[in-house]
Chains A and B, each alone.
Chain A
Amino acid sequence: MADEAAPRSPQPTTPLKALRAGESGIIAELYGGHGLRSRMLTLGLTPGAAVTVLQNYGHGPLIVRVRDTRVALGRREAEKILVRRER
Chain B
Amino acid sequence: MSTCHPLQKVSPLPALQERPILVALAGQPNVGKSTLFNLLTGLHQHVGNWPGKTVERKEGDFSFNGVSYRLVDLPGTYSLTANSPEELIAREFILRERPDVVVAVVDAATLERSLYLVAELLPLPAPVVVALNMMDVARQEGIQVEPEVLQAALGVPVIPMSATRGVGVQELLETVERMARGDLPYAPRLPQIRPDHREVLEAIEERIAGYVPGPYSGDWVALKLLEGDPEMTRMAREALPPERWEEVHAILRAHDDAQVAVASGRYEWIGRMVRAAVTRPRIGQIGLTERLDRWATHPFWGLVILAGILGAVFWLTYTVGAPLQGLLETALVRTLAEGARDLLSGAPAWLSGLLADGIIGGAGAVLTFLPILVIFFAAMAFLEDVGYMARAAYVMDGLMHLIGLHGKSFLPLFLGFGCNVPAILGTRVIESRRARLLTILLAPLVPCTARMAVVVFLAPAFFGPAAPLVAWGLVLLSLATLALVGIALNRALFQGRRSAFIMELPLYHLPNGRTIALSVWERSWAFVRKAGTVILAVSVVIWALSTLPGGDVETSVLAQLGKSLEPVGRLMGLDWRLTVALLSSFIAKENSIATMGVLYRTGEEGLADFLAATYSTATALAFLVVQVLFIPCMATVAAIRQETGAWRWTVFSIGLLLGLSLLAGTVTFQVAMLVK
Contacts and interface: CB of A to CB of B under 8 A. Distances in A.
A67 B113 contact: yes
Of the candidates B111, B407, B504, the one having the most CB atoms from chain A within 10 angstroms of its own CB is: B504
Contacts of A47: 260, 264
A72 B113 contact: no
A18 B263 CA distance: 25
A26 to B, nearest CB: 13
Contacts of B321: none
Contact of A36 (B109, B264, B502): B502
B504 A71 contact: yes
Contact of B504 (A1, A55, A70, A74): A70
Interface string A38-54: 11111110111100001
Nearest to A55: B297
A43 B299 contact: no
B81 interface: yes
B502 A71 contact: yes
B263 A39 contact: no
B505 to A, nearest CB: 4
A1 to B, nearest CB: 5
A71 B502 CA distance: 7
Given A1-B267, A38-B228, A42-B263, A68 B111 contact: yes
B271 interface: yes
Interface residues of B, number: 44
B78 interface: yes
B115 to A, nearest CB: 10
A82 interface: no
A23 to B, nearest CB: 14
Interface string A63-76: 10011111111101
B645 interface: no
A60 B195 CA distance: 38
A35 B143 CA distance: 32
A48 B280 CA distance: 19
Nearest to B138: A68
Contacts, number: 124
B390 interface: yes
A55 B271 CA distance: 26
A36 B500 contact: yes
Counting chain A residues whose Cβ lies within 8 A of the other chain, the interface size class is: 35 or more
Nearest to A37: B259
A35 B83 contact: yes
Given A1-B271, A43-B113, A61 B501 contact: yes
Interface string A16-37: 0000000000000010101111
Contacts of A55: 293, 297
Interface string B265-301: 0011001000000001000000001100100010100
B410 interface: no
23 contacts: A1-B264, A1-B271, A34-B228, A34-B256, A35-B83, A37-B259, A38-B228, A41-B260, A41-B263, A42-B78, A43-B113, A43-B502, A44-B112, A54-B293, A55-B293, A63-B505, A67-B267, A68-B113, A71-B505, A73-B502, A74-B397, A74-B501, A77-B500
Q: Which 3 A-B pairs have the closest CB atoms?
A: A74-B501, A41-B263, A67-B112
Interface of B: 78-79, 81, 83, 109-113, 116, 143, 194-196, 227-228, 256, 259-260, 263-264, 267-268, 271, 280, 289-290, 293, 297, 299, 390, 394, 397-398, 406-407, 500-507
Given A1-B267, A2-B195, A34-B259, 16 more contacts: A1-B194, A37-B260, A38-B263, A41-B263, A42-B81, A55-B293, A55-B297, A67-B110, A68-B109, A69-B112, A69-B504, A71-B502, A71-B505, A72-B397, A72-B501, A74-B397
